[in-house]
């Protein structure tokens, strides 16, 4: 068993870490405060090859493995979750469905511009009345005169409304008990994108409600076979959980970094608070859990790269790192004391950003359902 990263993986991690510290960290608080989408950073991330990491080079991607992708997402989240989720949602949810299930014509039309980062993509699954019960979708698509006519709505969709978004792939009911996926280009008549939603965290990411009113797209915009949408989005969510679990590790690591630095600087009772055993124990617990969580994420990513089943491990990693990041952010803010409650301290932003990691890509409760199913319970 070799737990060492390859030279390429180590280089990637250090490159993304440096970029996050030098380019993202100085403006993360400003982006959060102004609820401003980071267009300039997205362009620079695209130049680094991070917007289509696991897409083969033939389609304009970087051809990296999933372990490398998870490492990159972790390093971005260590500094700013809004930037990280922009990359993760675009890649795992927006681009990969088209790459996995699209025809060669669909891939050639969409993937190069998405993998290069020239354009962004989104995935529309959640609806106002279909969250954890994603199979209860009410958005409908009817085949009429050689095209699909779509009516319905989607909720909490990431990256759907930016100025550089090309398309959204949505789930829709296409028959009795039948769900399919369709590609809806931005700008299609009847496709309405609401203003950005106001959120507790991830304030610099783009989150929208979408409405479809007699939206008509060509019949060939069907993604994969008709009626395969449910299976497709379950597979996409399995992979997406690796992204979000990497975010959980990254946020926990970022919280630890802030707490450890502060504890060595903050003086109370005549010495740095890092000298007190209570603070040392809190940091030791954080570091231990982060190490465990990171290994879970890398294992799930490695299994995916080996072409082996990974759904159970991805769900376990998502559950564990979501709860780990909660504990870490809470402990780190406690170490900061009253200063941690102030917005000028970065830990307050990490604390707000954390909660969605226990909700998005399947709540903690859904993860336990998925794990139980894989355990044969």
Q: How confident is the model at residue 291 (pLDDT cuts 50, 70, 90)?
A: very high
Q: Spell out the CATH class of 230-374.
A: mainly alpha
Model pLDDT, residue 113: 98
Model pLDDT, residue 177: 84
Model pLDDT, residue 104: 97
- What would the mean pLDDT of 213-231 be, rounded to a whole number? 97
Residue 1 has pLDDT above 90, yes or no: no
221: its two tokens: 């915009």
Which stretch of 175-179, 216-220, 294-298, 313-317 has the lowest confidence by average pLDDT?
A: 175-179
Model pLDDT, residue 2: 87
pLDDT over 90, % of the chain: 97
Residue 246 has pLDDT above 90, yes or no: yes
**Interior angle at CA 164, CA 157 and CA 86, nearest 5:** 45
Please tell me the pTM assigned to this model.
Answer: 0.97
Model pLDDT, residue 135: 84
Domain 7-115 has CATH 1.10.540.10: yes
Helix, strand, coil percentages in the chain from 3-state DSSP, rounded to 5: 60, 15, 25
DSSP letters along 59-106, please? GTS----HHHHHHHHHHHHHH-HHHHHHHHIIIIIIIHHHHHH--HHH
Catalytic residue list contains 361: yes
DSSP letters along 319-372, please? HHHHHHHHHHHHHHHHHHGGGGGSTTSHHHHHHHHHGGGGTTTS-HHHHHHHHH
Catalytic residue among 109, 142, 361, 365: 361
Please give the mean pLDDT across all residues of the chain. 97
The CATH superfamily assigned to 121-227 is: Butyryl-CoA Dehydrogenase, subunit A, domain 2 (2.40.110.10)
Dihedral sign from CA coordinates of 342, 33, 260, 284: positive
Model pLDDT, residue 26: 98
Q: How confident is the model at residue 290 (pLDDT cuts 50, 70, 90)?
A: very high
- What would the mean pLDDT of 164-182 be, rounded to a whole number? 96
Extents of the domains making up the chain:
7-115, 121-227, 230-374
Residue 134 has pLDDT above 90, yes or no: no
């Amino acid at each position: 068993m070799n737990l060492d990263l390859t030279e390429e993986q180590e280089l990637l991690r250090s490159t993304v870490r440096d970029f996050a510290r030098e380019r993202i960290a100085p403006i993360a608080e400003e982006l959060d405060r102004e609820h401003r989408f980071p267009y300039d950073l997205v362009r620079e991330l695209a130049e680094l090859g991070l917007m289509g990491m696991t897409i083969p080079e033939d389609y304009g991607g970087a051809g990296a493995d999933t372990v490398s992708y998870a490492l990159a997402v972790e390093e971005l989240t260590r500094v700013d979750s809004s930037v990280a989720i922009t990359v993760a949602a675009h890649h795992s949810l927006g681009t990969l469905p088209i790459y996995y299930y699209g025809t060669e014509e669909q891939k050639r039309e969409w993937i190069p511009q998405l993998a290069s980062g020239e354009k962004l993509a989104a995935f529309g699954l959640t609806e106002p009345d279909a969250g954890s019960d994603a199979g209860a979708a009410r958005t409908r698509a009817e085949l009429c005169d050689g095209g699909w006519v779509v009516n319905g709505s989607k909720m909490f969709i990431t990256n759907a409304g930016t100025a550089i978004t090309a398309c959204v792939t949505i789930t829709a009911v296409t028959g009795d008990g039948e769900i399919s996926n369709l590609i809806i280009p931005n700008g299609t008549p009847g496709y309405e994108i609401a203003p950005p939603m106001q959120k507790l965290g991830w304030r610099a990411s783009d989150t929208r409600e979408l409405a479809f009113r007699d939206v008509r797209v060509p019949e060939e915009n069907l993604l994969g076979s008709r009626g395969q949408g449910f299976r497709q989005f379950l597979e996409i969510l399995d992979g997406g959980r690796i992204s979000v679990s990497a975010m959980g590790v990254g946020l926990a690591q970022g919280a630890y970094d802030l707490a450890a630095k502060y504890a060595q600087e903050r003086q109370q009772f005549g010495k740095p608070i890092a000298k007190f055993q209570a603070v040392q124990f809190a940091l030791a617990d954080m570091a231990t859990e982060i190490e465990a969580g990171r290994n879970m994420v890398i294992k799930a990513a490695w299994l995916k790269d080996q072409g082996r089943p990974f759904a159970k491990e991805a769900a376990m990693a998502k559950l564990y790192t979501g709860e780990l990041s909660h504990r870490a952010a809470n402990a780190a803010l406690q170490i900061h004391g009253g200063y941690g409650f102030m917005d000028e301290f970065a830990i307050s932003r990490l604390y707000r950003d954390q909660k969605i990691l226990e909700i998005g890509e399947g709540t903690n409760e859904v993860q336990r359902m998925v794990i139980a199913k894989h355990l044969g319970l």
